[in-house]
């Protein structure tokens, strides 16, 4: 993480970049599950670069019963709600020990509707089946299933989907980019990609 922060530091200080931190990431297990942890490394970086911290709340995406482990993608719908920024000067005015609690309070105070949106079980089953059959990771399997829901897919998307259905995608020699996309969606045990 130190190497990543070093790369970001100059861009943040110059106002050319921002970055998004999941303070607890995919570790939340039940809705609504408050944020309880945040690294002081990010608070120190905000002060050093004189940039605000903007609290963002994830609403929905988890069930009322705790899950085991973690999920890479939400269950059902999810909303991102943006709160009021905390300026670096406001943060620096607080005692060091109070800064973390101030940010956690701001994160948890962002108003959001934590209702649980029912998951689409057929979609979930399709993702699980594709991931299991092809050896694909759940995130990439989800992307392929999302492509299946597009009302007016491009010609390239139609070809990738047809290849997924038939078990083979034939590409021209000049279609390297489409080959990389298909490789990312098909998985190591999925459809064959060949040049024809």
**Per-residue pLDDT tens digits for 106-161:** 998 988 776 666 667 788 889 999 999 999 998 999 999 999 999 999 999 999 99
Q: Clarify whether residues 37 and 99 are in a common domain.
A: yes
CA dihedral 20, 24, 29, 32 (to 10 degrees): -70
Q: What is the reported pLDDT for 121? A: 78
Instruction: Name the residue among 125, 126, 169 with its Cα closest to residue 144.
Output: 126
Beta partners for residue 57, in sequence order:
81
Which of residues 109, 133, 157 is at a domain's end?
109
Return the minimum-mean-pLDDT range out of 35-44, 88-97, 173-182: 35-44
- pTM value is 0.62
* End-to-end C-alpha distance for the chain, whole angstroms: 44
Range with top average pLDDT, 7-11, 23-27, 32-36, 84-88: 84-88
Instruction: Look at 77-81, 89-93, 115-119, 164-168 and tell me which has the smallest mean pLDDT.
Output: 115-119
Q: What is the DSSP string of 93-139?
A: TS-HHHHHHHHHHHHHHS----PPPPP-HHHHHHHHHHHHHH---HH
- Residue 41 in tokens: 């490394």
Is the domain of 17 the same as that of 78? yes
Residue 93 sits in the same domain as residue 148: no
Range of the domain at 74: 2-109
Q: Report residue 9 as tokens.
A: 């530091």
Q: Partners of 171 in the beta sheet? A: 195
Residue 156 has what pLDDT? 96
């Amino acid at each position: 993480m130190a190497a990543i922060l070093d790369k970001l530091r100059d861009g943040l200080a110059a106002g050319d970049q921002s970055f998004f931190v999941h303070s607890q990431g995919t570790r939340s297990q039940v809705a609504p599950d408050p944020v309880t942890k945040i690294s002081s490394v990010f608070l120190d970086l905000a002060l050093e670069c004189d940039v605000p911290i903007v609290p963002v709340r994830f609403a929905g995406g988890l069930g009322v019963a705790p899950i085991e482990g973690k999920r890479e993608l939400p269950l059902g719908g999810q909303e991102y709600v943006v709160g009021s920024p905390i300026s670096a000067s406001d943060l620096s005015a607080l005692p060091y020990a109070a800064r973390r609690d101030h940010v956690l309070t701001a994160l948890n105070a962002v108003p959001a509707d934590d209702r649980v949106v029912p998951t689409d079980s057929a979609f979930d089953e399709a993702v699980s089946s594709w991931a299991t059959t092809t050896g694909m990771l759940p995130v990439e399997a989800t992307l392929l299933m999302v492509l299946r829901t597009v009302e007016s897919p491009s010609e390239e998307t139609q070809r990738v989907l047809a290849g997924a259905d038939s078990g083979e995608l034939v590409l021209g020699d000049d279609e390297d980019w489409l080959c990389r996309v298909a490789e990312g969606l098909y998985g190591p045990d999925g459809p064959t990609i060949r040049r024809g």
